[in-house]
Chain A
Amino acid sequence: GQQLNQSPQSMFIQEGEDVSMNCTSSSIFNTWLWYKQEPGEGPVLLIALYKAGELTSNGRLTAQFGITRKDSFLNISASIPSDVGIYFCAGPFNQAGTALIFGKGTTLSVSS
C-alpha cells in the first residue's frame, strides 16, 4: 500500500536555527498537506499544496510541492520554542481525495 516516509524522525535544535524536513511517497499525490500536532491536541493544518512545483509560505513556514509529485518539503526559519511539536505530512490516498494518509511525523524540539 501507499506509504509516506518522513525524514528526519526527530530534530533537536537551538532557538533561532532554521529547520528542514521532507516527505516522500511511493506514489503520486495531487495534494500535499503539512500538519502540526502538539501534546494532547489534534493536528492543525499548517500549509496545503495543490500544484507540482508550488511554493507556499505561512509566516516562518515554507512548504514546497515536489516536481515529481512524490515528495514535499517543509522549512521553518528562525525557530522559536513554540515550534515544538510533531510535524506530519499527508496526502489523499483514495481517488475521491477524501481520505488522507499521514506520515509518521518529525518530532521537533527547540532549546532556548
Chain B
Amino acid sequence: DTGVSQDPRHKITKRGQNVTFRCDPISEHNRLYWYRQTLGQGPEFLTYFQNEAQLEKSRLLSDRFSAERPKGSFSTLEIQRTEQGDSAMYLCASSPFGTSGGANTGELFFGEGSRLTVL
C-alpha cells in the first residue's frame, strides 16, 4: 500500500498522559499536514511541513502539542498532558509540491486517521 499510513489507529489514554502519533506520507510527497476532526465537524488544520521545515501552525496547536518531521519523511505529533478535550481523530495528509493548478492546490491525500480517546 503506497498511501498515507498512520499509527496507531486507535489510542485510549488517561487524562494527563502523553501520546504520540506517527504518520508516514506518500513517499514522493514533500508536504505533510496534520488536521484534527471531532464528531460532526470537518477537519481542522493544525500544522504543515514542507520537507523538514514546519512552516505554519494553527492557534489550535497549544503548547502541549508538538509536531516534528526530522528527516523530511515521516512525522510525529505528540500531545503532552492530555485533556478530555483532546479526544478527536487526528488526520495526517500529504501532497506533492507543484501539482496541476499551481503549487498550492489543496489536493491532499489523507491517511485513515488516529482516533484518540482521553478518559
Contact = CB atoms under 8 A, between A and B. Distances in A.
Interface string B82-107: 00000000010100000001111111
B56 A99 contact: yes
Contact of B108 (A45, A94, A101): A45
Contact of A98 (B31, B40, B91): B31
Interface residues of A, number: 27
Interface in B1-58: 4, 31, 33, 40-45, 48, 55-56, 58
A91 B42 contact: no
Contacts of A93: 45
A59 interface: no
Given A50-B101, A50-B102, A92-B106, A105 B42 contact: yes
B112 interface: yes
B42 A90 contact: yes
B107 A94 contact: no
User: Which 5 A-B residue pairings sit nearest by Cβ, starting from the closest?
Assistant: A102-B42, A97-B104, A42-B110, A99-B45, A50-B101
Given A45-B108, A100-B43, 16 more contacts: A31-B105, A33-B106, A41-B113, A43-B43, A43-B110, A44-B110, A88-B43, A90-B42, A92-B106, A96-B56, A97-B103, A98-B31, A98-B48, A100-B45, A101-B42, A104-B40
